[in-house]
């Protein structure tokens, strides 16, 4: 619990500092302007790739064409801490989840907008990272 609270405080400080946020935004805009793409490129998974990915992602399913999972936590602060930690990794990937939080529950939908809201390798990588953080 102490580890999660520490992560939350560090990430909230970074996210709430307007100077750091502004600097990161300028850097991303500049990189896009000179043609540098996100570190990972998304490609749509075929059915075999999707089934293989699901076999490695405990509790994940396809719901309305998106990867879906509902996470339960001991408390709201724990759920929020997990979301902040995942959010930092998502930002690094340039790939962001669609999620919904009520108290200790977080519902996650993952799809890649750039390829027509299909499930991509980026969604699988982010789901794996979510699992890793949840299980740590």
Label residue 12 by pLDDT band (50, 70, 90).
low
State the SS3 of the chain. Answer: CHHHHHHHHHHHHHHHCHHHHHHHHHHHHHHHHCCCCCCCCCCECCHHHHHHHHHHCCCCEEECCEEEEEEECCCHHHHHHHHHHHHHHHHHHCCCCEEEEECCEEEEEECEHHHCCECEHHHHHHHHHHHHHHCC
Percentage of residues of the chain with pLDDT beyond 90? 59
Percentage of residues of the chain with pLDDT beyond 70? 70
Label residue 83 by pLDDT band (50, 70, 90).
very high
pLDDT at 94: 86
Q: Lowest mean pLDDT: which of 28-32, 104-108, 129-133? A: 28-32
Average pLDDT, stretch 5-12? Answer: 48
Average pLDDT, stretch 86-90? Answer: 92
Instruction: List, for residues 14-42, the tens digit of each pLDDT value.
Output: 555 555 555 555 555 555 555 544 555 77
pLDDT at 26: 57
Residue 85, pLDDT > 70, answer yes
Residue 90, pLDDT > 80, answer yes
């Amino acid at each position: 619990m102490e580890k999660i609270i520490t992560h939350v405080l560090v990430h909230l400080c970074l996210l709430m500092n307007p100077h750091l946020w502004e600097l990161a935004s300028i850097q991303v805009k500049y990189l896009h302007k000179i043609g540098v793409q996100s570190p990972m490129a998304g490609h749509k998974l075929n059915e075999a790739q999707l089934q293989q990915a699901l076999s490695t992602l405990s509790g994940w399913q396809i719901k309305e064409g998106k990867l879906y999972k509902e996470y339960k936590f001991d408390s709201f602060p724990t759920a929020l801490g997990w979301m902040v930690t995942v959010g930092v990794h998502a930002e690094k990937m340039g790939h962001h989840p669609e999620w919904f939080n009520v108290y200790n529950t977080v519902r996650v939908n993952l799809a890649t907008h750039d390829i027509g809201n299909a499930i991509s390798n980026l969604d699988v990588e982010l789901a794996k990272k979510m699992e890793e953080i949840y299980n740590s």
